[in-house]
Amino acid sequence: MNHAQLTALGRALRLLGEHGDALNTDSPDAKLHEVKADLKRALDLLDETVTTTAPTTRCSEHPNGPVDESAPDRCLLCETRRRTARRTEVNDAYGHGRAPAPDELPDRTMTRYGVRGDRPQPQQRWLPEVWSGQEWHLCGTPRRDRQEAERYLAAERRTPRPGMAYRLVHEFTDYEVLRIWGTPVKVDIEPMGNL
């Protein structure tokens, strides 16, 4: 839908809303014929702007996919995936890693948080942050490469309106401040020193 179509359709729908507000039991037939003509005009504009077919499912991933009436979102593809997951869960067909040797007893115990081998490996990132006068804010996307993050902060410091201070934070299981550029000074946000 282009801007002209959007504007014309919005105008036609607002006019219909005004007609609806003005209707009462004393409305003459001429007014009703005017409402009918405006309604037909709005429907014609809507037909011109709609270019795709109506969605057959309520699924955002497969709006025009095959339909399964028994599925909550009417999507056959998603319902098949859900049924497979339920069937796998019922049949206990999840993989349990390598099977122990016949003479080897499994030494794994159930723990609340799992064991180290079950957890995903931590991801290492560098977070560029700027001092806002009150606290540190993320000022760019987290980077996987430290040199790239430092180049980004160097470019930020050269902008026409640089921040008061920047810092680079290393994120790897825990946070560690690597380097601070500038001096973060607490700034009173009230004008005139809060008088």
Tell whether the model's pLDDT for residue 107 goes beyond 60.
no
**What mean pLDDT do residues 144-161 have?**
91
**What mean pLDDT do residues 129-156 have?**
89
**What mean pLDDT do residues 75-92 have?**
79
Tell whether the model's pLDDT for residue 35 goes beyond 70.
yes
**What mean pLDDT do residues 19-33 have?**
86
Please check whether residue 147 is in contact with residue 189, taking contact to mean a CB–CB distance below 8 angstroms. Answer: no
**What mean pLDDT do residues 177-190 have?**
79
End-to-end CA separation in angstroms for the chain: 53
- Quote the CA–CA distance of 35 and 15 in Å, as a whole number: 9
Q: What share of the chain is helix, strand, coil (3-state, %, to 5)?
A: 40, 15, 45
Helices (H), 23-145: 29-49, 76-90
- Provide the token pair at 58: 């309520």
Q: How confident is the model at residue 96 (pLDDT cuts 50, 70, 90)?
A: low
pLDDT value, residue 173: 63
**What mean pLDDT do residues 101-110 have?**
58
